[in-house]
Structure 1
């Protein structure tokens, strides 16, 4: 309204107010409309997420005993804390071999640092909430937790179990590399007594899922990402138009139910989008890789044509992946320079914490602390901490293995320096 008064004064002072009554009325209406429009525009921008207000900086390193001088450690502070409302209710549908252990660790670290409750198995054992069956509230405790992130199979019951304002997340991966990773990680070659290439060449792959190889391998290797997200994939046929239509319907429904799906091939970009969605800071999404394989030899026979075979076999996963990758790329294309800068900042900050916490990457079998062991040590990497890292809670949360965290969470034990030091096997 002040703008409207100013316009009227200008009209009067310049002599334009002497125009006929009808013209004055039109000018007044126009000025009022313009004033209202500008007011709404200001309110809109002030109410937008904090990522549009990134102009003050602070250190992301919350310990002062070991200062770092590099500028990428800086992070956003906000003109008003009321403008930032970090999400505190999150459900992550943890799909297999999609970078999910790394994402799981990020979410659990945030929950522990912010005193959020985490859903654990009702049995207080293992890393699954009812999987491979669909999730039910009886699979987990406590009711209405802040975070659900153990392996579970998405179902409508999950929506009832979690608080109403829960943000739902998941992750996907190129089915070609996901299938290879699952085949190697779960030891399918030993169970099937055939190499990955032989498996791809087998005309009837479902014939492999018999005997001791039947229970889990069909869910890990046959459109496993779609299975984890709730679709029964065992009877699907890629040549049946009805089945393809059914898969598309499920994907579109997931698009409505999930607030975001991270893409492993664009993990850092995904984490920045997730950070903004959850209204977290960059420090909240700093990560070290989890459950990674050391010195994995690239299968020279895994050519593009072989990858096409894998995608054809897991065609429902391919439809799922293509949909959500395209959706993410659309988001990134809207602000390319912003995401480029933010990804660079995330990588630099992760590197700083890696230098601060980790002396070197080692085979898990050589870990000198039981909380840095994976429980399946063959070819899996872990970390040897620096002296300072062994006394820093953030370093411990960043490096402790998933299996160790799960065991402590299920037992109701704390995850901190004191607990970590109790796991020392030997000093090196």
Structure 2
């Protein structure tokens, strides 16, 4: 019994000796565990908040009025023929948005195109929660330095670009912007085969229309921007998968007045003296079987690859809008050209210098005709597909501004763009503005005169230094001449031919 008591007392003594340091150790471990837990919870909260803050402006838009078509349908529907009903896929369409962060890279040869190195942070977005346009999303407003809207993340300029050049929509001015951007950075252009300025328009585009394309290779180009009738699967054959798709629309009323003047020689317009005479009984003059007459009705719809003579069917129009909205990252509006350039600048992560412009292929005011309200209504009825497209994308244009730049910042950037353009006009142009073609001194800077339109051009200021003169000259070089310059640059061994006229 005494032995047991002694053993118990001995054990108790040992336990007492261990208790104090052990409890201290446990307390310290417990406090460390609590601190780690609190820190982990705090990091999770910060991460969730930052994730929502960063990804919200990049969300893609979901239209409640127009349901998405599956990508499989778009690829199989090669010529976008909606004469047969499509089995729409109503499942939720999920997209991915990439936030780009730059890494420093060195390019030993300045003359070669530098390779963009991107760190991609992928964010999955559900269409059900999105209300913003675009297949890949539109970036936020970027300053010239590449920093976005004063926030802490950066983007790199996009260099893979698909521009659907629609007719009579100020698209020649955008072409000059893209030509300048690619030319100064030695990017590759998908130029029309045969040294023409159109990709076999009005035929549906195929990759074989591109100069230098070889069918059994994986040749890819940086930019495609000449006139074509859009066909997505063929465009994908020559353009990288991360290409940025955009186009521009114009009010069909003013557009048709311009089209009638510029394409007066087409069969539909040739036998009429005025636009009013044509609209009095358009079916009398319009033969849809003639390819040239595609200019006379729903021209923008035709450029996007759809049937411009289709009936006014709400379901098919909705599917057309859905396809365009899904395929193109951005649709610009000609009537708000400066605002469009700011949106484009921000979406591509370009600088203001990249999108500054002088108007090109612009008519003299003397050749413009004022359209009456009665004529305006007839134009809308005759071009109802174009009118529906314009109404829809005009509304989404302003929603895009509100979602990305905001009205206040947009107004500020537009003023900066106009100020820069005015400065360049004073510096570059002799008359500080466009002039009648008969007054253009340099024959190489005269724009093509076509139809009944009088297309104005520019005279360079005298006594400019070489660098300034080169920059100013690029701003005013007409489409045909600039296309030829790019041919000479990209294909120096090509047999020269006269400047193309179609």
Q: TM-score range by the shorter chain?
A: 0.7 to 0.9
Written as runs of structure 1 = structure 2, the 5 A alignment for 1:9-158 is 32-42=40-50, 76-78=144-146, 83-124=154-195, 126-142=196-212, 143-156=219-232, 157-158=234-235
Deviation at 1:165, TM superposition (A): 0.8
Residue 401 of structure 1: CA displacement? 0.9
Q: Does 1:351 align with 2:422?
A: yes
Inter-CA distance 93–35: structure 2 relative to 1 (3 Å threshold): same
The reply on whether 1:405 has 2:482 as its aligned counterpart is yes
SS in 2 for 1:91: strand
The 2-side partners of 1:365 and 1:209 are apart by 34
User: Counterpart of 1:88 in 2: which secondary structure?
Assistant: coil
Q: Could you say what secondary structure the match of 1:154 adopts?
A: coil
Partners of 1:255 and 1:79 in 2: how far apart?
A: 27
Give the alignment's TM-score, normalised by structure 2: 0.66
Q: 2:262 aligns with which of 153, 177, 185?
A: 185
- The 1-side partners of 2:380 and 2:458 are apart by 34
Structure-2 residue corresponding to 1:261: 331
Residue 402 of structure 1: how far off its partner (Å) = 1.0
DSSP 3-state at the match of 2:401: helix
For 1:280 and 1:79, locate their aligned partners in 2 and report how far apart those are by CA, in whole Å: 10
Q: CA–CA distance in 2 between the matches of 1:338 and 1:414?
A: 43
SS in 2 for 1:151: coil
For the pair 1:396 / 2:473, whether they are aligned, the reply is yes
Go from structure 1 to structure 2 and tell me whether the alpha carbon gap of 1:368 and 1:289 turns closer, same or farther (over 3 Å shift).
Answer: same
Asked if the contact 1:121/1:140 (under 8 Å) is kept, the reply is yes
The Cα offsets for residues 281-313 of structure 1, whole Å up to 9 and x where unpaired, read as 01100000001111335534x222321210111
**CA shift for structure 1 position 190:** 6.5
Q: 1:248 touches 1:319 (CA, 8 Å); kept in 2?
A: no
Higher mean C-alpha deviation, range 37-46 or range 130-139: 37-46
Separation of aligned partners in 2, 1:312 and 1:357: 44
Where has structure 1 moved over 6 Å in runs of 4 or more? 27-31, 43-49, 79-82
2:307 to 224, 232, 242: 232
Is residue 319 of structure 2 the alignment partner of residue 285 of structure 1? Answer: no
Instruction: State whether residues 252 and 383 of structure 2, in contact with CA within 8 Å, keep that contact through their aligned partners in structure 1.
Output: yes
Contact 1:144 1:163 in 2 (8 A): yes
Cα 1:108/1:209, change in 2 over 3 Å: same
Give the match's secondary structure for 1:343: helix
1:34-61 Cα distance to aligned partner (Å, 9 max, x none) = 4322245457768989x9x9xxxxxxxx
- Secondary structure at the aligned position of 1:231 is classed as coil
The equivalent of 2:297 in structure 1 is 222
Label 1:382 to 1:412 Cα distance change in 2 as closer, same or farther (>3 A). same
Distance between the aligned counterparts of 2:436 and 2:327, measured in 1? 39
Name the larger-Rg structure.
Answer: 2
Confirm or deny: 8 A CA contact 1:272 1:342 kept in the other structure: yes
State how far apart, in whole Å, the 1-side matches of 2:363 and 2:179 are.
22
Superposition TM-score, scaled by structure 1 size: 0.76
Cα distance in 2 for residues equivalent to 1:31 and 1:303: 70
Q: Does 1:330 align with 2:399?
A: yes
Shift of 1:414: 10
Which of 357, 375, 392 aligns to 2:448? It is 375
Aligned residue pairs, count: 361
**Cα offset for 1:366?**
2.7
Q: Which stretch of the first structure deviates more once superposed, 184-193 or 360-369?
A: 184-193
The DSSP-based 3-state class of the residue aligned with 1:115 is coil
Contact 1:94–1:151 (Cα < 8 Å) also in 2 = yes
Aligned to 1:199: 278
Unaligned 5+ runs, structure 1: 1-20, 54-74, 416-428
Partner of 2:315: 245
How far does residue 175 in structure 1 lie from its aligned partner after superposition? 0.7
Alpha-carbon shift at residue 160 of structure 1 (Å):
2.5
More helix by share: 1
Kindly state the Cα deviation for residue 206 of structure 1 after the two structures are TM-superposed. Answer: 3.3
Q: Match for residue 240 of structure 2?
A: 163
